[in-house]
Structure 1
Amino acid sequence: MAAEFDTSHVKNIVLLGHAGSGKTTLAECMLFEAGLINRRGSVEEATSVGDYHPLEQERGNSIFSKLMHTKWRGYKINILDTPGYDDFVGEVLSALRVADTGVMVLNATMGVEVGTDIIWEYTDKFKTPMIFAVNKLDDDSADFDRTVQEAKDHFGSKVTVVQYPRQQGAGFHEIIDVLRMTMYKFHDTGGKPEKLAIPDEEKEKAEALHKELVEAIASNDEALMEKYFDKGELEEDEMKEGLKKAMIAHDIFPLFCLSALRNMGSGRLMGFIDNVCPSANEMPPQKTIKGEEVPCDAAGPPCLFVYKTISEPHVGDLSFFKVFSGTVKTGMELVNESNGVIEKINQLFLLEGAKRLPVQELVAGDIGATLKLRNTHVNNTLHAKGKMMELPPIEFPTANVTVCIESVNKGEEEKMAQALHQLREEDPTLIIEMSKELKQTLVHCQGDMHLAVAKWKIENGQKVPVKFGKPKIAYRETIRKPAEANYRHKKQSGGAGQFGEVFMRIEPYYEGMPDPSGLTVRGRETFDLEWGGKLVFYNCIVGGAIDARFLPSILKGVMEKMNEGPLTGSYVRDVRVCVYDGKMHAVDSNDISFKIAGIMAFKDAFQKADPQVLEPIYQVEVLCPEELTGAVMGDLQSRRGMVEGIDAEGHFQKVLAKVPLAEMHGFSSSLRSITQGRAKFKMRFESYQPMGYELQKKLTEEYNKSAEEAIA
């Protein structure tokens, strides 16, 4: 059976916006308006099609992106509903990767919020055609004009009003459309409005906005500009065509009015999506990693891209994908370009929230899902045999929060590891690290909410109780002055004995330093340490005091001790070691003797060389409303942070600071508390810096105490 809709009649939209802007409620309206559901559910009552996951119903907000679809006037609209919290940015990015139009939902009571700004960065990168939808105009604190002005301030003059409300607050029920020059009047229950002439007192404003819209459309198309100059007007079809071109080029962002809660305005928005928004074959073709174009043509070679995976209990992994070329049919065998594995498409589904609707085929431009692709993961491309096609992967952001994780019950470590592997499969923004250095399992994620969801999934899905803790800090150790030491290793037992004596000078290393003074240099080796910094090892032996064959053993001993510094057990870096004298025995000297002598001489010299603990310092950027910058700066300073400046970024302030990683634990929840969720932050490693004396002393004492307890 052929697909019900051809490529040009499939529209893919992604609902975007800050948490609480009403995306899921809008999706519910769209399904209801199209007759797919006969009763609108609600987020508050946990009855919406979109927020079907038990955790979402428990928390009252979206956590995962959802795929739904509806049919409207001869078109199929795939609706991707996304979460609004920055912790779940991975869900937003994966949905954006496969959508052809974004609908940015703005809360008319709050204006442009920080979540909106963050998401905009990604839409700008993907060059996704965008619609703005000002929602909650029925709220008494709604302010349409302020919201529009903020949108223009943040996203530029390309934000162009297509509709405005005749009234706001509880009495909101009329929308004036300046594209169609019509007023829509809704009944209290919403739904289908009456189409009326624009009232006389609104005509001047409507005509001014209509002219602004027409000029914006014409200015992006020379042919339309000529027609506009000739006639002073454009026909509705010409405006629609011009709007589509301008949206694809990211030159116009049309703005609409809504009350999703009262189902006012969603039908007109769906009509605009049908008539104006581009289908996948009207967008610029996708390009492979090698730069070759992949036309969105149902008759082309099959090619699909997996953008999301979820694990369903008792069923297996459900892979969500978009068909970028060709027609994908059940029973088809496709090649995974990443690993060369052939995958059989046994089943195809359309999604309606939690419901899976089996279909036989999906055409280019459509989005669907399949089960049990054994060797296929997020970001993989599947294509027809004999073709070489790999689409660019989604680039997920780096993590902001790190915790250590362990199972509550002893003996369940393996089960926990399997659960973590499954989590990583579903969520590429969650990074699991088995840290050899810290001897901990670390979870790197986007924030506290992200972490809470991970814990819920492990404990409810895999039945493994786990606990999170503060991770150890990867400190480094170095020295601040030169020092010398010697060590004689001598051991006599029944047979052959052990003997090796080493004289060693160690110095702080810096780039471009001259050769050691007062020593004869016989050889030099420089090592870039895997944990950062350098070790420079000099052979300064004269007169054959130690055979050259024993130098690698001395070096091995030094390296071994650098893996566990004497102050805190951390890695040692940026040290120059000169072996300048020693003794050996014709019979008893061997590699192990000189390795031990090397370890002990290095340890002794290190303790004399004014040892220094270095701590990791991170560059932290916090984006927050202006009135909250003082509180944010105060919190950063209480964490030994050095605030370096404040930059204006659109409507928000960006606070820049350098903060020790040891003090960043808990910052995510603290920031949410201080700003009521209206701020976001990101951090990246900056450098290692010396730690203050008192803190170093405390750290060293703690390390020595734990070492003594371990021996006892």
Structure 2
Amino acid sequence: MRTYDEKHIKNVVLIGPAKSGKTTLAETMLYEAGIVHRRGTVEENNTVSDYHEVEHDRGSSVYATSLHTEWRDYKINIIDTPGLDDFIGEVITSIRVCDTAVLLLNAQNGIEVGTELLWNYVDKYNKPTILAVNQLDSDRASFNRTIEEAKSYFGSAVTVMQYPLNTGSGFDSIIDLLKMVMYKFPEEGGKPEKLPIPDSERERADALHNELVEKAAENDEGLMEQYFEKGTLDEDEMRQGLKIGMMKHEVFPVFCLSAKKDMGSGRMMGFIDNVAPSAIEMPAEETEDGEAVPCDPNGPTRLFFFKTLVEPGLGRLSFFKVLSGEVSVGMELVNERTSTVERISQLFIADGKKRNAVENLKAGDIGCTLKLKNTYTNHTLNGKGAVGNIRPIDFPDPKLRVAISAVNKQDDEKLSEVLNEIHIEDPTVSIEYNQELKQLILSTQGELHLAVTKWRLENIYKLQAEFQKVKIPYRETIQGAANATYRHKKQSGGAGQFGEVSMKVEAYYEGMPPLSEHPVRDSETVDLPWGGKLVFNNCIVGGVIDARFLPSIMKGVMEKMAQGPLTGSYVRDVRVSVFDGKMHPVDSNDISFKIAGMMAFREAFLQAGPQLLEPVFEVEVLVPSELMGDVMTELQIKRGVIMNMEMEGDNQVIKARVPLAELDKLQTSLRSLSQGRAIVRSHFSDYAPVSTDLQKRVSEEYSKAELAEAH
């Protein structure tokens, strides 16, 4: 396979909402370039891009897939991405490493919810963008409406390069405003005939061409001078101006397509060759320390790994971009994050599941390799003279959490290993064992993401798992004060056990007055690992309890606080004062006073107005203004308290406090309510008291579970 230099490599990512035609366009581009000789279809499950079994099962893309074409002395690396935001991690990594985004707009639907979500990431990484209006052969297609909506959303950067002469089932002609010709396609698509622009379209085409010339000129002072001098720009000058505008994010060229009928893709590929920037022209990547890493073919070798794919029977496939220098088979490179040496034993250019072996890849190119031992997504491999990790890709926080366990308990360890493997492949899946809740927590981007994870467990790894709700990490405290005395006495032959403890338990708060009814001999304040405080006062006088037993009493209190009397949750913010008790000269020991302290604390706690606390999150919902009322209603249904509202662009930001118990359900309901347009951000705030009804219900559920376990 031919090796291309850095100036002749173009990296593009195909993005767009579900059903916008990305996979079909990718297939058509491969066909146009002669990489495949027969175009597959999504319906027949035979496209190069969607080759995974789960994609065939679901009928849509789940993974981002790397492909390539060779078109008129240029190599175009293509990454086809999923359209559903449950798989946004696949999209983000692809946008990050590509140099141009091709954003597909469905001519039937215009700017869709998914378009807005994807644009946030394109805009974040400031990627040059081509707008491809697809499905112009549909009866419901409207090019003009789509462009109006695009201009309303993206602004004046939307730059019409082409427009269709007709849309609908008879679509076959495109007016090209850069070359000022009409492309007329045969009925079966493919190579078009170049024809003069019809007289009936000449006035419109001339007006739009002049707008295009002005748009190209305004991005560069030299071109503007040429425009003022000549009154126009030639084709090469326009290309130059359009490239500058794309890199400034001030020009989004618009192309017309019917990917299904193979109409228009060749012209867009030619524009990618001639105008879209290559990696060497893009702003330099940066290390975590802020050092610029320009795409220099003569620089030290530096690879950035953006995707890891674990394929049964094959092993771990690692995808990377060559940021500088050159990588060759046999090279040994240093992983900056793990300080290990990796040997590149094989190099490939991927076309779906087909891997084309190559000997080397140059700066700006995208490739993959097999069986690296310690290198994963977001890792950097450096050659001699290169140091530092490339700034990592940021992934969104999970939106859905479930507890997971193996149906067969003997598979628990294997389940953990498999889930860790899935996390390596997809960092937007996270797995954590919560010691407090005694649950293995699986977090995903949504219901569909979870369903695909479950499918993989069952079909790829042959593991049966069950899913439950994640328990809520409640806290327990008290509102008042109470005294209790407990005597622990046990005699079973030989040495017995005896300990009696009297204590006062009361609610603790910062700045509370000292204990008045008993003299405090010494006091210890413990910052509890789960939050809050325990203040432990020794008020013993007259030696009724030997000082050596006080630590045991405190240990018993702490053990009960770690499994609260009300619901088994952690206890926080209490003051315990031990003021009386009794000993036995023979039978008193540490275990006796530990048990007596534990039980005295339990009795006093339950008499002191126990209060259950729940974790509350501060939530921000970014939502289009027209949906604000519905979202506020939903927040209130989910026990949310609205705190504030403010404008952010054309959207509203609603700030609220929402209990953790409602947060997962809120994410799901808001996604459905807003068709995915609501963006929810949340972070833990504090613990707040629950209602009397909820406290009673949770406490009764805990008591029933304890009773069942005892039997």
Same-fold status (TM-score > 0.5): yes
Q: SS state of the match for residue 322, structure 1? A: strand
Once the two structures are overlaid, the 10-residue window that deviates more, 87-96 or 197-206, is 197-206
- Find the counterpart in structure 1 of residue 533 from structure 2: 534
Quote the offset at 1:682 in angstroms: 5.4
Task: Verify the 8 A CA contact 2:30 2:69 in the aligned structure 1.
Answer: yes
- Find the counterpart in structure 1 of residue 462 from structure 2: 463
Matching residue's letter, 2:189: G
Aligned residues: 711
Quote the offset at 1:495 in angstroms: 5.5
Instruction: Indicate how the Cα distance of structure 1 residues 190 and 345 shifts in structure 2: closer, same or farther if over 3 A, else same.
Output: same
Task: Verify the 8 A CA contact 2:108 2:142 in the aligned structure 1.
Answer: yes
CA distance in 1, matches of 2:634, 2:252: 38
- Find the counterpart in structure 1 of residue 318 from structure 2: 319
- Find the counterpart in structure 2 of residue 177 from structure 1: 176
Quote the offset at 1:354 in angstroms: 1.1
CA distance in 1, matches of 2:361, 2:89: 25
- Find the counterpart in structure 1 of residue 151 from structure 2: 152
CA distance in 2, matches of 1:196, 1:647: 54
5 Å-filtered alignment, 1:390-539, equals: 390-491=389-490, 497-518=496-517, 520=519, 523-539=522-538
- Find the counterpart in structure 2 of residue 363 from structure 1: 362
Instruction: Indicate how the Cα distance of structure 1 residues 105 and 495 shifts in structure 2: closer, same or farther if over 3 A, else same.
Output: same
Q: 1:369-416, CA deviations, whole angstroms, 9 ceiling, x for partnerless residues?
A: 111111111111111156422111111111111111122234222222
Q: SS state of the match for residue 116, structure 1? A: helix
TM-score, normalisation: structure 2:
0.92
Q: SS state of the match for residue 68, structure 1? A: strand
5 Å-filtered alignment, 1:295-374, equals: 295-374=294-373
Instruction: Indicate how the Cα distance of structure 1 residues 705 and 256 shifts in structure 2: closer, same or farther if over 3 A, else same.
Output: same
CA distance in 1, matches of 2:48, 2:648: 36
Quote the offset at 1:85 in angstroms: 0.8
Quote the offset at 1:58 in angstroms: 1.7
CA distance in 2, matches of 1:516, 1:152: 70
CA distance in 2, matches of 1:182, 1:521: 95
Once the two structures are overlaid, the 10-residue window that deviates more, 216-225 or 306-315, is 216-225
CA distance in 2, matches of 1:319, 1:279: 23
- Find the counterpart in structure 1 of residue 81 from structure 2: 82
CA distance in 1, matches of 2:523, 2:184: 85
Q: 1:269-291, CA deviations, whole angstroms, 9 ceiling, x for partnerless residues?
A: 11111111111111111111122
Quote the offset at 1:262 in angstroms: 1.6
Matching residue's letter, 1:291: G
- Find the counterpart in structure 2 of residue 381 from structure 1: 380
- Find the counterpart in structure 2 of residue 113 from structure 1: 112
CA distance in 2, matches of 1:254, 1:549: 81
- Find the counterpart in structure 2 of residue 556 from structure 1: 555
Quote the offset at 1:594 in angstroms: 3.4
Quote the offset at 1:120 in angstroms: 1.6
Task: Verify the 8 A CA contact 1:448 1:668 in the aligned structure 2.
Answer: no
- Find the counterpart in structure 2 of residue 35 from structure 1: 34
Task: Verify the 8 A CA contact 1:114 1:652 in the aligned structure 2.
Answer: no
- Find the counterpart in structure 2 of residue 134 from structure 1: 133
- Find the counterpart in structure 2 of residue 257 from structure 1: 256
Instruction: Indicate how the Cα distance of structure 1 residues 208 and 567 shifts in structure 2: closer, same or farther if over 3 A, else same.
Output: farther
Q: 1:611-663, CA deviations, whole angstroms, 9 ceiling, x for partnerless residues?
A: 12222334556666777666666655544445667777777776665443334
Q: SS state of the match for residue 277, structure 1? A: coil
TM-score, normalisation: structure 1:
0.92
- Find the counterpart in structure 2 of residue 198 from structure 1: 197
Matching residue's letter, 1:483: A
**Structure 1: segments with no counterpart, 5+ residues:** none
CA distance in 1, matches of 2:643, 2:25: 42
Matching residue's letter, 1:51: D
Task: Verify the 8 A CA contact 1:86 1:680 in the aligned structure 2.
Answer: no
Task: Verify the 8 A CA contact 2:300 2:385 in the aligned structure 1.
Answer: no
CA distance in 1, matches of 2:579, 2:225: 86
Matching residue's letter, 1:566: P
- Find the counterpart in structure 2 of residue 276 from structure 1: 275
- Find the counterpart in structure 2 of residue 163 from structure 1: 162
Q: SS state of the match for residue 170, structure 1? A: coil
Is 2:615 aligned against 1:616? yes
- Find the counterpart in structure 1 of residue 698 from structure 2: 699
- Find the counterpart in structure 2 of residue 125 from structure 1: 124
Q: Structure 1 vs Structure 2: percent identity of aligned residues?
A: 59
Quote the offset at 1:445 in angstroms: 0.7
CA distance in 2, matches of 1:552, 1:392: 50
CA distance in 1, matches of 2:416, 2:93: 25
Quote the offset at 1:596 in angstroms: 2.4
CA distance in 2, matches of 1:434, 1:569: 18
Matching residue's letter, 2:564: G
Task: Verify the 8 A CA contact 1:154 1:651 in the aligned structure 2.
Answer: no
Once the two structures are overlaid, the 10-residue window that deviates more, 82-91 or 499-508, is 499-508
- Find the counterpart in structure 2 of residue 711 from structure 1: 710
Q: SS state of the match for residue 593, structure 1? A: helix
Once the two structures are overlaid, the 10-residue window that deviates more, 181-190 or 420-429, is 181-190
Q: SS state of the match for residue 171, structure 1? A: coil
Quote the offset at 1:172 in angstroms: 2.4
Instruction: Indicate how the Cα distance of structure 1 residues 479 and 55 shifts in structure 2: closer, same or farther if over 3 A, else same.
Output: same
Task: Verify the 8 A CA contact 1:114 1:679 in the aligned structure 2.
Answer: no
Once the two structures are overlaid, the 10-residue window that deviates more, 602-611 or 541-550, is 541-550
Instruction: Indicate how the Cα distance of structure 1 residues 343 and 593 shifts in structure 2: closer, same or farther if over 3 A, else same.
Output: same
Instruction: Indicate how the Cα distance of structure 1 residues 205 and 644 shifts in structure 2: closer, same or farther if over 3 A, else same.
Output: farther
**Structure 2: segments with no counterpart, 5+ residues:** none
Is 2:687 aligned against 1:688? yes
- Find the counterpart in structure 2 of residue 576 from structure 1: 575
CA distance in 1, matches of 2:6, 2:356: 19
CA distance in 2, matches of 1:402, 1:330: 42
Instruction: Indicate how the Cα distance of structure 1 residues 548 and 233 shifts in structure 2: closer, same or farther if over 3 A, else same.
Output: farther
CA distance in 2, matches of 1:390, 1:491: 64
CA distance in 1, matches of 2:411, 2:241: 61
Matching residue's letter, 1:556: K
CA distance in 1, matches of 2:386, 2:417: 34
Matching residue's letter, 1:576: R
Task: Verify the 8 A CA contact 1:614 1:690 in the aligned structure 2.
Answer: yes
Q: 1:281-325, CA deviations, whole angstroms, 9 ceiling, x for partnerless residues?
A: 111111111222222122221111111111122221111111111
CA distance in 2, matches of 1:235, 1:187: 30
Matching residue's letter, 1:505: K
Is 2:621 aligned against 1:599? no
Is 2:187 aligned against 1:188? yes
Matching residue's letter, 1:86: D
CA distance in 2, matches of 1:152, 1:33: 30
CA distance in 1, matches of 2:180, 2:539: 89
CA distance in 1, matches of 2:162, 2:652: 30
Instruction: Indicate how the Cα distance of structure 1 residues 621 and 26 shifts in structure 2: closer, same or farther if over 3 A, else same.
Output: farther
- Find the counterpart in structure 1 of residue 232 from structure 2: 233
Instruction: Indicate how the Cα distance of structure 1 residues 649 and 229 shifts in structure 2: closer, same or farther if over 3 A, else same.
Output: same
Is 2:292 aligned against 1:288? no
CA distance in 1, matches of 2:527, 2:602: 21
CA distance in 2, matches of 1:71, 1:535: 70
Q: SS state of the match for residue 188, structure 2? A: coil
Task: Verify the 8 A CA contact 2:10 2:76 in the aligned structure 1.
Answer: yes
Q: SS state of the match for residue 264, structure 1? A: coil
Quote the offset at 1:466 in angstroms: 1.7
Instruction: Indicate how the Cα distance of structure 1 residues 538 and 173 shifts in structure 2: closer, same or farther if over 3 A, else same.
Output: farther
- Find the counterpart in structure 2 of residue 4 from structure 1: 3
CA distance in 2, matches of 1:466, 1:301: 47
Once the two structures are overlaid, the 10-residue window that deviates more, 127-136 or 8-17, is 127-136
Task: Verify the 8 A CA contact 1:113 1:678 in the aligned structure 2.
Answer: no
